[in-house]
Amino acid sequence: MTTATSLTARVLDTIRRRGWLHGGEVVLVAVSGGADSVALLDVLFSLRDALRLSIEVAHVHHGLRAEADADAEFVRRLAASLGAPFHLERVAVRREPPWEGLEAEARRARHAALLARAAAVGAHRVAMGHTADDQAETVLMRLLEGAGPRGLAGIAPGRGLVIRPLLEVRRRDIAAHLASRELGWVEDASNRDTRFLRSRLRHDVIPFLEGAFGPHVVASLCRSAAASRALVDDLERLASSELGRVAATGPAGVVLPIDALSSRSEELAVQILIEAAARLGETRPRRAATQRALRRLLGERPPRRAVRVGDLAVERSGRWLRVGPVLLPALLPRRVDVPGCADLSEVGLRLTARCFERSADYAIPRDARRAAFDADRVPPALAVRGRRAGDRMAPFGGPGERRLKSLLIDAGIPRWERARVPLVEAAGDILWVAGVRRGRAAIVGPETRRILELTLDSL
């Protein structure tokens, strides 16, 4: 069996064993121009007839290196020689907070561009050229960072549309394949720059370990990654199930009761938070520092400041924990006619005001989201707004005026919602802290003939 045939057979075995391709799919191959991605394209192209594949090529141009234009041109010519459609994806690598380092941000931008192109061309899979050596380097990097099982699981063989058919293949086998096929590639000079940790591991540390402990170091690290990956996959499935059981999703994001998280193991609770972020579209890998910050948030003395998870915030207040947008839209002031209704879309609520004659058997509503008032003591239009600094009200049944902030805290309203609770005003007085507490004005008494009923519903 020739070297080329050997690599192709191994990749085909991996694809079939993992059930990635069944025949007839469109596969978008990510090609940087380096040896690994060129070999991946060559192998998949050689399998196109057997698997009835449609192959398209994507090259992501990060604009970070002087050779980037030449690399893109190399890949374009390579795709043209195969008759495969070519897509050049230019991306801007984020450099402002939250920033996870140049390599991580470039990877995030690359993945987003590839998934967007896959959606545009109807690709069933996005194939990437990571190898067993990449996996071993990643495991060592994560180990040095003090990562737990999630970090030590390394690079996932497949996730969503993304597959990595070369992840069980050594880099030396790639080189042999390219030599036997007389294929060229481009070299990224930064891969040999030992100022970067990955490069030091590749050129210094792993060769030393192989010299000291034998040639199976990379295979051993990959086995450790696979074992950790199996544990993480089980944890993710359990966390996804638990999230659906205990979380509520709304305009503020995903909100979870602290009691439900505290009753789970710390590892499972952290994974539930990560699954919540993933449901909101934040799927980038979580670094060790983020993991530690989430654990502190679940502890007995949590920080008041939110933890950033990519573009999302995770924050705790009272009995609740939220995963959602960093900034929530403020409640805009508006007028509500009586009778009438107003959609408070920025907080996902609708306020309805209806008037009717009081019947002999009318009972004051006890549902927190309904409140009744003497309609003849209320003006024909009400105002709705959010909380302002210094707001006070006289709650029904209370001894006197109270600061609105302390009332909301006592009611268990989480910090992020306090400025978004609708306040219903009549002539400048707070009639109702909607869904929380009514004021003393316009009380329904024995002499009340007409009822104004206010109802708060979810949109």
Given a contact cutoff of 8 angstroms between Cβ atoms, the answer to whether 441 and 432 are in contact is: no
| 251 lies in the same domain as 395 | no
| 307 lies in the same domain as 346 | no
Give 411's contacts (C-beta < 8 A, 6+ positions apart).
436, 437
| 36 lies in the same domain as 169 | yes
Given a contact cutoff of 8 angstroms between Cβ atoms, the answer to whether 383 and 424 are in contact is: yes
| 206 lies in the same domain as 352 | no
What tokens does 233 get?
Answer: 């996959």
Q: Which residues of 136-154 are buried (b: 16+ CB within 10 A; e: fewer)?
A: bbbbbbbeeeebbebbbbb
Number of domains in the chain: 3
| 28 lies in the same domain as 161 | yes
Give pLDDT, residue 103: 77
| 78 lies in the same domain as 216 | yes
CATH number for the domain that contains residue 383: 3.50.40.10
- Of 325, 359, 387, which marks where a domain is finished? 325
Question: Residue 217 falls within a domain, yes or no?
Answer: yes
What are the phi and psi torsion angles at 57 (to 5°)? -115, 135
Question: Residue 242 falls within a domain, yes or no?
Answer: no
| 209 lies in the same domain as 271 | no
| 308 lies in the same domain as 423 | no
Q: Give the torsion sign (CA, 195, 199, 201, 202).
A: negative
Question: Residue 428 falls within a domain, yes or no?
Answer: yes
Residue span of the structural domain in which 271 resides:
247-325
| 338 lies in the same domain as 269 | no
Give pLDDT, residue 89: 95
Q: Torsion angle of alpha carbons 145, 148, 154, 159, nearest 10°?
A: -130
Please choose, from the candidates 294, 311, 314, the residue with its C-alpha nearest in 3D space to the C-alpha of residue 252.
314
| Site of tokens 């191959």 | 29
| 36 lies in the same domain as 151 | yes
Mean pLDDT (10-residue bins), the chain, 459 residues: 76 96 96 97 96 97 85 96 96 71 81 96 97 96 86 92 97 96 89 84 95 95 96 94 94 94 93 94 77 90 89 93 94 94 94 95 92 95 94 88 93 94 93 95 94 95
Bond into 333 cis (ω within 30): no
Q: Are strands 437-438 and 450-458 parallel, antiparallel or unpaired?
A: unpaired
Question: Residue 236 falls within a domain, yes or no?
Answer: no
Question: Residue 26 falls within a domain, yes or no?
Answer: yes
pTM value is 0.75
Half-sphere exposure of 391 (CA within 13 A, CB side): 25
Bond into 285 cis (ω within 30): no
In whole angstroms, give the CA distance from residue 225 to residue 299: 29
Please choose, from the candidates 426, 427, 441, 429, the residue with its C-alpha nearest in 3D space to the C-alpha of residue 353.
426
Question: Residue 261 falls within a domain, yes or no?
Answer: yes
| 303 lies in the same domain as 409 | no
Question: Residue 235 falls within a domain, yes or no?
Answer: no
Residues facing residue 314 across a β-bridge: 307, 323
Question: Residue 237 falls within a domain, yes or no?
Answer: no
In whole angstroms, give the CA distance from residue 238 to residue 232: 10
Give pLDDT, residue 1: 44
- Cα angle 199, 165, 1 (rounded to 5 degrees) comes to 100
- Of 325, 348, 383, which marks where a domain is finished? 325
Half-sphere exposure of 226 (CA within 13 A, CB side): 9
* Euclidean distance between the first and the last CA atom of the chain, given in angstroms as a whole number: 65
In whole angstroms, give the CA distance from residue 294 to residue 215: 38
Given a contact cutoff of 8 angstroms between Cβ atoms, the answer to whether 41 and 57 are in contact is: yes
| 315 lies in the same domain as 340 | no
Give pLDDT, residue 100: 65
